[in-house]
Structure 1
Amino acid sequence: MRFGILGGTQVWSDDGTEVSLGGPARRALLTLLLVTPGEVVPADRLADGIGAAGPDGAPSAHAIQSQVSRLRSALGGAAAIERTGAGYRIVAADDDVDAGRFERLAREGRSALREGDAARAVPLLREALRLWRGPALADLADSEPARAAAVRLEELRLGALEDRIEGELRLGEHRTVIPELRELVDRHPLRERLAGLLMRALFADGGQAAALVVFERVRRHLAEELGADPSAELVALHGELLSADPSPAPAAPPAPLTAFVGRDDETAEVVQLLRVARLVTLTGPGGVGKTRLSAEVAGAAADEVCFVELGALRDAAVLPRALLGALGLRESGLHVAADEQSPLDRLVAALTGRVLLLVLDNCEHLVEEVAVLAARLLATCPRLRVLATSREPLGIIGEHLHPVRPLDDASSVALFTDRARAVRRAFAPDPETVRRVCADLDNLPLAIELAAARLRTLSLDELSARLHDRLALTGRGSRTADARHRTLRSVVAWSWDLLSEPEQRAARRFSVFAGGTSIESALRVCDTDEETLQALADKSLLEWTGGRCRMLETIRSYGAERLDAAGETEAVRHTHARTLVELMSAAAPWLRRGEQLEWLAALAAEQPDLLAAVRWAAEAQEVATGLELIASASSYLWIRGGSGTLAPQARILLDAVGDTPPAGLGEEYAICLLVAASGPAGREVWRRHRASADKALTAAWSADRAGRHPAGLLLWMMHNATGDGDAPGAFALVSAQRDRPEPWVRAAARYVSGFGPLGVGDFAAAERAFRTAVAEFRALGDRWGAALALDALAGVAGARGEREATVALTDEALGLAEQLGALEDCADLLVNRGDQQVDIDPATARADYLRAAEYARRAGSTGALAAARRGLGDTALLERDPATAEDLYTQALEQLDPHWVKGLGNRVRTLAGLGRIAEGRGDHAGARARYREAAESAAVTGAALPDALRLLGLPEPLVEVVSRG
């Protein structure tokens, strides 16, 4: 039997059934006994608590005994209440009472927090706080002992709450806790720990100024209420905030692992050149040190720097996306849409007005595409500077070339000696021999480093002899070959030949990895052991960092040639792809739970290899493997907003499949179509394959069978709801899954089932469905699903005209979007919040629109920026500035996507605003035309015009105006 006193007093039997206790006297009696379970409670205290004192004020023994008897009867003998001396006690363990269980969990959580284990502390503290159902000892009369016990428990509760928030801050969840902390600080303005936590959370979110305001408010409260100063801890935190730099940085240059030798003067020269030139290209042969020099220049730059490594990039089409990723910008967010916006336009929007040095490293294999991109960025972003490294110039106007030459003799000897002593501490160089070795290597830094690493197993004389022989065979080839192949190929071939056969086999198989990989994946794909991988790392053919290993690009290219020569390419690439399928499949369930942030970060490291594997499957017509790859990665791609990167390969696979999916892969076929439809020309491929995919997906999710990829089922509905498809059938298919045993599937079905009643105006039913979905997604820890459902719930509240509820729900969704780093969705939610307040508090709405515009610029999202401009146009119109409003509306209309529901709602509002401006200046024909356009846009939702306008978020006055127009 379990007892609860953290709220109203309740008792539950072992099967979870609540036990009826009867009237308030019995509840008060049980509460008094449970405050100290197992201990005797004096009769006078019991009498005071249940109001059983006699006329003379003495406790009535008969009244107490009568209530005890009735309580025993209610409990049915499951818990013993014993008479002992001058009182009674209940025989129950501390853990049988929620207060005792709470105190234990809170102690364990605080202990874990003090030990630095926030990952263990936070779940314990959350479990403790979930036990509270209301005020402590709510059924106990207001006696002095009861008050003291309740105050103690409430203080413990607040302390556990602070501990939980402290743990969440340590885990990086600052954005989620800020709204809760604001409310707590308002309720407890003198509690310094809460104020400190809020200051830390705001600072972590980039709100240094807001954090300082919190400190000043607490300081003032302490002075006015207590005549005291803030504690030393809070003052120290204030000092740290004043001296800290809150600016987040894009991708930084690679941290140097070794000394930089022989290029100090050259570094200063390039830094000076960048002060007068906006584009500088470091040219020279492969291995000459262009990358290392560019990193040193970036480290010496006064401006913000973004360092983009292009060596592993093979598909020029994803070049703008690679730059967006290096800037820390996500491609899209929670809502899945067929986004026709160019990634290049997003990049331009993100960089416009930003003072930045953009370093583009290893451009030679994409020189034409990089040239076009650099020219566009420099022309549209006047405060941007570009430093490129390439074997050949980019060849665009304004380019300044800086040829990077091999090291001089003295620097080459110094570099060789430094690297040799890293592998052989007692190395004593013969300067003449070292000079000769370096000369044979053309004084190329990479070649020198590879050669010096061999001194772990060779003497300097042996190295000199073998290197000379190798260069005699390969270093004097065709004069028409490029410099990289006349020099580095010689060095790599020589290094390769020094490997044992097992090492060569592992190295050439490792070349299929496009980026770094985990040790486990490397062991499987390379079919080797960890000792062999370590040997390759020791010989500078692999690099190990943070439990992952990678291969230098030059060596990887050579290894790929060796793999082709051995006839192993197709088999190894197949193993590589299957390894990724298993990795992504294992990760998918965790992406729908509370661990999704950690797994999203882990899978982001695998994305280059995912792209390479899907590209190979499409080119090799490995249809089954390609379909499984895309389906296994689909949850990750949708949450991260990266499905567009695989759209071209998905279309190739669909063309190879035709209208009949492979046996057993119908669900994967449908998901492949969803991915293909998210890119350019998506509507055409959707219309061609939708019917077949719909049939396959329906079979995969039949009444007696559940599919393998539940997120795909949800996205299928969303795409049908906005594209050319069977919207009622898609809704019905998902809604039918409400009784599935899988919790996430049930939550998704609840979410989808709310749109049916919403479409016919049954707001109560829609709200019930969306609220259930929110609760179920939250129970799983899925921020993505919870944010989707909260956004829908806010839409219901908005349609009802419940402003405060809409804003509160939007704030909740915004917190989750910020936690996921969804800048574009943050912008969208801020616009929604502004729309709810613009007609009653234009200044607050304007602040939201401006903040949304900033988020949109950081995300490089022209659609989100257009929505913010539309909102600012609304405020300008309210402020009687029609000229500014018309300019903002016009800019917004040019960038809004009319085919996606978010763009559609903003388009209708923009057209309505332009109609009101025309009407205001007496242009009635122009006003009617704009209102007609707005009505025609709203009509695509399928609802009656007034209902469609309300569902799209228009306030009632505009609904009336547009409906009349």
Structure 2
Amino acid sequence: MFGILGPVLADGEVGGPRPRALLALLLLDAGRVVGTDRLIDALYGEEPPGDATNALQAQVSRLRRRLGVPIERQPAGYRLVVDPDDVDVHRFTRLARDGRQALHAGEHAEAARLLRDALSLWRGPALADVEAPFAEPQAARLAEERVAAIEDRADAELALGNTDLVPELRALAKDHPLRERTQSLLVRALSGAGQQAEALVTFEDTRERLADELGADPSPELAAAHLAALRAEPLRSTSVPAQLTSFVGREDELKRVAELLTGARLVTLTGPGGAGKTRLAIEASGPEACFVDLAPADGSTVPQAVLDALGLRETRMFGAPGDADPVRRLVSALADRALLLVFDNCEHVIGEAAALAHRLLSGCPGLRILATSREPLGITGEALCPVPPLREATALRLFAERAAAVSPQFAMDPAVVGRICAALDGLPLAIELAAARLRTIPLAQLETRLADRFRLLSRGSRTAAPRHQTLRAVVAWSWELLGVEEQDLLRRLAVFSGGVTTESAADVCGLSEVDADELLTGLADKSLLDAQGDRFRMLDTIRAYAAERLAESGELDAVSRAHAEFFLELAQTADPHLRRTEQLTWLARLTAEHANLHAAMRWAVDAAPELALRLIGAQTAYWRLRGVLSENIPLAARLLDKLGPETPPGLEEEYVLTVLSAGPSEMDRHRHRAEAIMNTLDWPLRQPHLLVAWATFAGPPDPDEPPTPMQRRMATVDDPWFRALFHFSQSYLALFNGNIDTAEPDLRAALDGFREVGDRWGISQTLDGLATHADLTGEWTRAVELTDEAIELLDQLGAIEDLAELWARRADRLLHGGDLAGAEAGYERAVELARRGGVPAILASAYLGHGLLAARRGDLPGARRWYGRALDECGGDWLSTGTRSRVLTALGRVTDDLAEAGSLHRQAVRSALSQQFGIDVAEAVEGLAGFTAASGDPGQAAYLLGLAEALRGRAPVGDPDLAALRRRLAGHPEFTRGKSTPAATARTHLSHSL
């Protein structure tokens, strides 16, 4: 073996500096001829000896004798006769190339293996002991290739979910502060390890260095890593958690699970806590599965837990409250996917988990579910796989591996360890808890203490659930070995759901952050907590035991209140940031604490209703930006019952938000009271998103009615976000009621306001409004450009459902401009996103677009099929009525049966009228006019066309064409009875005549 990736390496004696340099030159081109002039220049530089050719020949001869390897003399130079694969640099190059190709092909495990092999060939800096003119540039080139290979290997490892790369990447990034790929990999690794704060700081530091030293912006790769950190995205596309310890044994069980999954669509691993069900499920599921941890869930949040694991929202941002159906969303999103879902820890939500599993399996033929539970789910088609104790040999191996990890000096005594594992009934968790104690307790003493603890058990005096009793006993034993401060902390941590940070543990449990960090780390060392980045999580079995100790201590209410107050303060601190440039950072922080925020709500609803009201107010913007509504419905409804007929003074806004979170029936029951509050609120509001939530609930106001007190007050507020929202709402109503000219100034003012504060949601909505304006005025290229900018912003917010809607609108605008191919691609993208997000209403819009394309191309049967699919997807909320009316109109235009066409057109008008938007009513009326003309009634058709023109705002009072419009409307005197606009008269007449 020869090498230059470090000091020069050869099988024989090389000699001094000059022979080493010569050998290195020949190794760089092993098996190929190296020219004489090149060798002389490389060895001697600008001062060659007088007879350089003879000097070189002498050097080659001496090296040949020492190596015992042929160095052939050729007419043009010399050739070292060795296989390039016997030279480390050439083997490294081949392996690194193959690894990079595997990485690009998505074969991450193979890429990681090849690149690890390549990098293992390095023994230090390349050409480390070579002193010659060529050495420095060659060493620099090879060092660059080494860094690129490290980056490729890190990329592959991160794709596999490996979070152990942070120290290595941190050191590499320190050496290469301007190397963007290294920095982006570090950001990804930090984020994947749960260290979002450091990931974001790393990005900002790099961005500033690039700007200061290079005058450059971050590359797309670095920007994408930053966005993933902001969203707290997992390293890989699935949510199967990466494991930090080896998986020992269970070969038979793995084979059994694989066999069951080939024949059954629901397989449940059963067994007591600590049996290793979760780890077995992770190992059996493979990297492409989606892992759903149900431990923090309650009955109402099971569907939301699945949505979260899939990276989906249950509704669009600021979707209509009360219309969210997370189960329907899941069925829609998974209907066409082949996927394995892992439902972990089902036992405490067994009924809800079973019902959801049944619904998903019934509606999603490509779906399989692997569940873990202490009892079966009990539904048809379930295949059970009991998880037995570890066999003796496997138990000993597990104990030995875990013991060596905490005590490097551990000496295995099979007899002693065998007795310990037998006393622990072969339960993996019990074995790991015991092995963790070897850090401070010798093996023989460990056996004695366990023997004392399990004396009754070892004599066979057991209850009906021996394995459960064993685990409880070992947890209790581990508890008793803790110090008082450790016991206090572990007990109080039982109120946390979904993990704890040093900051939250210190605040809730009454410690300094230094003490909290030390105690948390100590509990993790004892296997009582699981450290994941900057968060610590407690196994459900240990959490249940800690909760019992907390209840016995008399501290439960006080610690629960401290927990709720901490997370209320966090939500209140975050709320204003969710309307500013830094909204992604704070959205990620709240998402990481979602389970704790929900746990705080559950406690406060019953124990502290006013605190619960404040929690709802502080979280409303977060819930809506994340698209989370349904899990709060039962809590909000229960809170309204707790409050009774009185609204706590000073919390009126929070009360209305609670009504809007409580589901359709509660919203109807409390609507009048909520309306009264909305009309008498003091301004400015303390809860700015109340305006958006109320508008989404109430729907658009009647344009012919005077402004409400709320609208009048809103126009007077100086806050830039409020002011932007006011201009946007005004422009929205103007635009969709045909007042196109008056809409644009408000849209521009709204855009300036939202850009000033940095609210991506507001900017994207306003850009879409400007795109609609451009579309209506025939500026289709500009409409598409504005839509593209809005899409980019929504992509940063991770709003798949809203993105689907914008892609459908983008396609509409391309269709209007005559770009049929671009429109078709846009509708396909909208369908893809809508299916992935499970958004039927957007599917309806995209299917409508495909139908319009088919009709434009003359394929009327195809158009009818698309329109039929679109109707099937239309929902019942007011936001869907415009789509329904457009589909009915389009279907009426391609229907052969005249009577059916008339019925469709009239349905379209009725549907549009229920929404109040003049622009949708105008399109429906125009379709009805076409039908009327085809039916042989040109006078009525002309009249209806006049109505459509009025509804589009093209004939306002004072317009020169008003007389012509009035002539079309002859015979309908209500048009001249003092109504403010032709649109008002048109709407009134249609309402009475249809």
* CA drift at 1:470: 2.6
Are residues 289 and 482 of structure 1, via their aligned partners in 2, closer, same or farther at CA, if it must alter by over 3 Å?
same
- Alpha-carbon distance between aligned partners in 1 of 2:433 and 2:731, rounded to the nearest angstrom: 63
Pick the aligned partner of 2:922 from 927, 945, 949: 949
Question: What does 1:17-56 align with in structure 2 at a 5 Å threshold?
Answer: none
- Alpha-carbon distance between aligned partners in 1 of 2:928 and 2:289, rounded to the nearest angstrom: 45
Provide the residue aligned with 1:939 in structure 2.
913
* CA drift at 1:601: 1.4
Provide the residue aligned with 2:659 in structure 1.
673
Is the contact made by 2:353 and 2:377 (CA closer than 8 Å) also made in structure 1?
Answer: yes
Is the contact made by 2:425 and 2:467 (CA closer than 8 Å) also made in structure 1?
Answer: no
- Alpha-carbon distance between aligned partners in 1 of 2:691 and 2:730, rounded to the nearest angstrom: 13
Provide the residue aligned with 1:350 in structure 2.
333
**3-state DSSP of counterpart to 2:454:** helix
Are residues 602 and 934 of structure 1, via their aligned partners in 2, closer, same or farther at CA, if it must alter by over 3 Å?
same
Provide the residue aligned with 1:373 in structure 2.
356
* CA drift at 1:450: 0.6
Are residues 930 and 961 of structure 1, via their aligned partners in 2, closer, same or farther at CA, if it must alter by over 3 Å?
farther
**3-state DSSP of counterpart to 1:172:** helix
Segment of structure 1 superposing worse, 271-280 or 666-675: 271-280
- Alpha-carbon distance between aligned partners in 2 of 1:792 and 1:954, rounded to the nearest angstrom: 25
**3-state DSSP of counterpart to 1:485:** helix
Is the contact made by 1:119 and 1:171 (CA closer than 8 Å) also made in structure 2?
Answer: no
User: What amino acid is the match of 1:908?
Assistant: S
- Does 2:913 match 1:913? no
Pick the aligned partner of 2:307 from 324, 338, 363: 324
**3-state DSSP of counterpart to 2:204:** helix
Question: What does 1:433-582 align with in structure 2 at a 5 Å threshold?
Answer: 433-472=416-455, 482=465, 485-528=468-511, 529-530=515-516, 531-582=518-569
Question: What does 1:841-880 align with in structure 2 at a 5 Å threshold?
Answer: 841-880=819-858
Pick the aligned partner of 1:655 from 635, 641, 652: 641
Provide the residue aligned with 1:39 in structure 2.
none
- Alpha-carbon distance between aligned partners in 1 of 2:661 and 2:873, rounded to the nearest angstrom: 24
- Alpha-carbon distance between aligned partners in 2 of 1:640 and 1:611, rounded to the nearest angstrom: 14
Q: TM-score, normalised by structure 1?
A: 0.70
Is the contact made by 1:647 and 1:675 (CA closer than 8 Å) also made in structure 2?
Answer: yes
Is the contact made by 1:113 and 1:167 (CA closer than 8 Å) also made in structure 2?
Answer: no
- Alpha-carbon distance between aligned partners in 2 of 1:952 and 1:810, rounded to the nearest angstrom: 28
Are residues 935 and 650 of structure 1, via their aligned partners in 2, closer, same or farther at CA, if it must alter by over 3 Å?
same
Is the contact made by 2:321 and 2:661 (CA closer than 8 Å) also made in structure 1?
Answer: no
- Alpha-carbon distance between aligned partners in 2 of 1:249 and 1:266, rounded to the nearest angstrom: 26
Q: Deviations over 1:700-743 (max 9, x none)?
A: 543xxx3322122333234333599999656x635644554533
Is the contact made by 2:734 and 2:742 (CA closer than 8 Å) also made in structure 1?
Answer: yes
* CA drift at 1:790: 1.9
* CA drift at 1:936: 0.8
- Alpha-carbon distance between aligned partners in 1 of 2:927 and 2:757, rounded to the nearest angstrom: 34
- Alpha-carbon distance between aligned partners in 1 of 2:242 and 2:252, rounded to the nearest angstrom: 20
User: What amino acid is the match of 2:395?
Assistant: S
Segment of structure 1 superposing worse, 839-848 or 904-913: 839-848
- Does 2:259 match 1:275? no
* CA drift at 1:824: 1.0
Is the contact made by 1:306 and 1:327 (CA closer than 8 Å) also made in structure 2?
Answer: yes
Question: What does 1:162-311 align with in structure 2 at a 5 Å threshold?
Answer: 163-164=216-217, 166-167=218-219, 169-172=221-224, 249-299=236-286, 304-311=288-295
- Quote the sequence identity (%): 44
* CA drift at 1:120: 4.6
Pick the aligned partner of 1:416 from 379, 393, 399: 399
Provide the residue aligned with 2:765 in structure 1.
788
* CA drift at 1:637: 0.9
- Alpha-carbon distance between aligned partners in 1 of 2:364 and 2:913, rounded to the nearest angstrom: 39
**3-state DSSP of counterpart to 1:311:** coil
Q: TM-score, normalised by structure 2?
A: 0.69
- Alpha-carbon distance between aligned partners in 2 of 1:697 and 1:717, rounded to the nearest angstrom: 11
Pick the aligned partner of 1:593 from 580, 586, 590: 580
Question: What does 1:723-872 align with in structure 2 at a 5 Å threshold?
Answer: 733=710, 736-737=713-714, 740-758=717-735, 761-838=738-815, 840-872=818-850
Pick the aligned partner of 1:119 from 174, 194, 204: 204
Is the contact made by 1:118 and 1:167 (CA closer than 8 Å) also made in structure 2?
Answer: no
User: What amino acid is the match of 1:789?
Assistant: T
- Alpha-carbon distance between aligned partners in 1 of 2:702 and 2:410, rounded to the nearest angstrom: 72
Is the contact made by 1:846 and 1:872 (CA closer than 8 Å) also made in structure 2?
Answer: yes
- Alpha-carbon distance between aligned partners in 1 of 2:370 and 2:852, rounded to the nearest angstrom: 42
Are residues 482 and 525 of structure 1, via their aligned partners in 2, closer, same or farther at CA, if it must alter by over 3 Å?
farther
Are residues 924 and 402 of structure 1, via their aligned partners in 2, closer, same or farther at CA, if it must alter by over 3 Å?
same
Q: Deviations over 1:530-567 (max 9, x none)?
A: 23323222222222222111111111111111111222
Pick the aligned partner of 1:630 from 596, 599, 616: 616
Q: Deviations over 1:217-243 (max 9, x none)?
A: xxxxxxxxxxxxxxxxxxxxxxxxxxx
Provide the residue aligned with 1:689 in structure 2.
670
**3-state DSSP of counterpart to 1:754:** helix
Is the contact made by 2:178 and 2:210 (CA closer than 8 Å) also made in structure 1?
Answer: no
Provide the residue aligned with 1:45 in structure 2.
none
- Alpha-carbon distance between aligned partners in 1 of 2:256 and 2:917, rounded to the nearest angstrom: 66
- Alpha-carbon distance between aligned partners in 1 of 2:771 and 2:853, rounded to the nearest angstrom: 22
- Alpha-carbon distance between aligned partners in 2 of 1:570 and 1:887, rounded to the nearest angstrom: 60
Is the contact made by 1:360 and 1:387 (CA closer than 8 Å) also made in structure 2?
Answer: yes
- Does 2:627 match 1:641? yes
Provide the residue aligned with 1:86 in structure 2.
none
- Alpha-carbon distance between aligned partners in 1 of 2:864 and 2:693, rounded to the nearest angstrom: 37
- Alpha-carbon distance between aligned partners in 1 of 2:532 and 2:628, rounded to the nearest angstrom: 26
* CA drift at 1:343: 1.7
Q: Deviations over 1:452-471 (max 9, x none)?
A: 11222222233223323333
- Alpha-carbon distance between aligned partners in 2 of 1:486 and 1:874, rounded to the nearest angstrom: 67
Are residues 113 and 167 of structure 1, via their aligned partners in 2, closer, same or farther at CA, if it must alter by over 3 Å?
farther
Segment of structure 1 superposing worse, 853-862 or 538-547: 538-547
**3-state DSSP of counterpart to 1:838:** helix
Are residues 354 and 745 of structure 1, via their aligned partners in 2, closer, same or farther at CA, if it must alter by over 3 Å?
same
- Alpha-carbon distance between aligned partners in 1 of 2:462 and 2:928, rounded to the nearest angstrom: 74
Is the contact made by 2:882 and 2:915 (CA closer than 8 Å) also made in structure 1?
Answer: no
Gaps of 5+ in 2: 1-175, 184-201, 932-943, 949-989
**3-state DSSP of counterpart to 2:388:** coil
**3-state DSSP of counterpart to 1:511:** helix
Provide the residue aligned with 2:382 in structure 1.
399
- Alpha-carbon distance between aligned partners in 1 of 2:945 and 2:814, rounded to the nearest angstrom: 19
Is the contact made by 2:734 and 2:740 (CA closer than 8 Å) also made in structure 1?
Answer: yes
Gaps of 5+ in 1: 1-109, 129-155, 177-204, 206-246
User: What amino acid is the match of 1:171?
Assistant: A
User: What amino acid is the match of 2:667?
Assistant: W
Q: Deviations over 1:876-897 (max 9, x none)?
A: 2333333333333223223312
Are residues 889 and 533 of structure 1, via their aligned partners in 2, closer, same or farther at CA, if it must alter by over 3 Å?
same
Q: Deviations over 1:478-517 (max 9, x none)?
A: 9775566323211211111222222222111110111112
Are residues 952 and 838 of structure 1, via their aligned partners in 2, closer, same or farther at CA, if it must alter by over 3 Å?
farther
Are residues 564 and 118 of structure 1, via their aligned partners in 2, closer, same or farther at CA, if it must alter by over 3 Å?
closer
Are residues 721 and 604 of structure 1, via their aligned partners in 2, closer, same or farther at CA, if it must alter by over 3 Å?
same
* CA drift at 1:280: 2.5
- Alpha-carbon distance between aligned partners in 1 of 2:260 and 2:356, rounded to the nearest angstrom: 21
Is the contact made by 1:283 and 1:390 (CA closer than 8 Å) also made in structure 2?
Answer: yes
**3-state DSSP of counterpart to 1:377:** helix
Are residues 532 and 860 of structure 1, via their aligned partners in 2, closer, same or farther at CA, if it must alter by over 3 Å?
same
